Amino acid sequence: MKLLVTGGAGFIGSNFIRYWLANHPDDFIVNLDKLTYAGNLENLKDIEKNPNYKFVQGDICDFELVNGLVSDKLDIIVHFAAESHVDRSVMSSRDFIRTNVEGTMTLLDAAKNNGGVRFHHVSTDEVFGDLSLDGAAFTEKSHYNPRNPYSASKAASDHLVRAYYHTHGLPITISNCSNNYGPYHFPEKMIPLFITNLMENKKVPVYGDGKNVRDWIFVTDHCRGIDFIIQKGKIGQTYCLGGNSEITNIDLTKKILSLMGKGEDMIEYVKDRPGHDLRYAMDYAKAKQELGWEPLLSLHEGLMQTIEWYNDNQAWWQRVKSGEYQEYYEKQYGE
Ligand code: NAD
Ligand code: DAU
Domain boundaries, the chain: 2-184+217-244+276-298
pLDDT for residue 99 is more than 90: yes
Q: Is the CB of 108 under 6 A from ligand 1?
A: no
- Determine whether the shortest distance from the Cβ of 249 to ligand 2 is under 6 A: yes
pLDDT at 214: 98
Ligand 2 site-directed mutation target among 207, 246, 280, most atoms within 8 Å of CB:
207
Q: How far is the CA of 214 from the centre of ligand 2 (A)?
A: 8
Judged against a pLDDT cut of 80, whether residue 240 lies above it is answered with: yes
Amino acid 322: pLDDT:
93
Task: Give the residue-averaged pLDDT of 233-240.
Answer: 98
Residue 179 Cβ inside 6 Å of ligand 2? The answer reads: yes
For a substitution probing ligand 2, which of 123, 151, 179 has the most ligand atoms within 8 Å of its CB? 179
Q: From atom 7 of ligand 2, which residue's Cα is the shortest distance away?
A: 84
Q: For ligand 1, say whether the CB of 216 is within 6 Å of any of its atoms.
A: no
Share of residues in the chain with pLDDT > 70 (%): 99
Tell me the mean pLDDT in the region 311-315: 98
Question: What's the whole-number mean pLDDT along residues 78-94?
Answer: 97
Average pLDDT over residues 68-90: 97
- In three-state form (DSSP H/G/I as H, E/B as E, the rest C), the secondary structure along the chain is CEEEEECCCCHHHHHHHHHHHHHCCCCEEEEEECCCCCCCHHHHCCCCCCCCEEEEECCCCCHHHHHHHHCCCCCEEEECCCCCCHHHHHHCCHHHHHHHHHHHHHHHHHHHHCCCCEEEEEEEHHHHCCCCCCCCCECCCCCCCCCCHHHHHHHHHHHHHHHHHHHHCCCEEEEEECEEECCCCCCCCHHHHHHHHHHCCCCEEEECCCCCEEEEEEHHHHHHHHHHHHHHCCCCCEEEECCCCEEEHHHHHHHHHHHCCCCHHHEEEECCCCCCCCECCECCHHHHHHHCCCCCCCHHHHHHHHHHHHHHCHHHHHHHHHCHHHHHHHHHHCC
Nearest to 290 by CA among 223, 224, 226, 233: 233
Quick one: pLDDT at residue 247?
98
Ligand nearest to the CA of 279: 2
- For residue 109, pLDDT over 60 is answered with yes
Residue 51 pairs in a beta bridge with none
Q: How many CA atoms within 13 Å lie on the side-chain side of 55?
A: 25
Query: CB of 125 within 8 A of CB of 178?
Result: yes
Q: What is the pLDDT of residue 178?
A: 98
Pairing of the two strands 28-33 and 53-57? parallel
% residues pLDDT > 90 (the chain): 97
Q: Where residue 331 falls among pLDDT bands split at 50, 70, 90?
A: confident
- Nearest-CA residue for atom 8 of ligand 2: 84
- For residue 335, the model assigns a pLDDT of 53
Say which CATH topology domain 2-184+217-244+276-298 has: Rossmann fold (3.40.50)
Asked whether residue 326 carries a pLDDT value surpassing 90, the answer given is: no
Residues 282-305: what's their mean pLDDT?
Answer: 98
CB 192 within 8 A of CB 256: no
CA 31/CA 22 separation, integer angstroms: 16
**pLDDT at residue 288 greater than cutoff 90:** yes
Tell whether the model's pLDDT for residue 249 goes beyond 60: yes
pTM of the model: 0.98
CB of 33 within 6 A of ligand 1: the answer is yes
Question: Residue 166: which residues within 8 A CB-CB, separation 6 or more?
Answer: none
User: How many residues in the chain?
Assistant: 335
Whether pLDDT at 170 is above 90? yes
- Looking at residue 334, its pLDDT comes to 67
On the question of pLDDT at 332 being above 80, the answer is no
Q: How far is the CA of 243 from the centre of ligand 2 (A)?
A: 15
One-letter amino acid at 268 equals: E
Active-site positions?
A: 125-126, 150
The Å distance, Cα 275 to ligand 2 centre, comes to 12
- CA-126 nearest atom, ligand 2: 1
The answer to whether the CB of 59 is under 6 A from ligand 2 is no
pLDDT digits (tens, 9 = 90+) for 201-229: 999 999 999 999 999 999 999 999 999 99
Q: Does the structure show a pLDDT above 80 at 65?
A: yes
CA 92-197-18 angle, to 5 degrees, is 75
177 lines ligand 1 (CB under 6 A): yes
CA distances from 225 to 44, 109, 152 (A): 21, 26, 24
- The Cα 11–Cα 219 span in angstroms is 9
How much is the pLDDT for 284? 98
- Cβ distance 129 to 145 under 8 Å? yes
Provide mean pLDDT across the span 105-133. Answer: 97
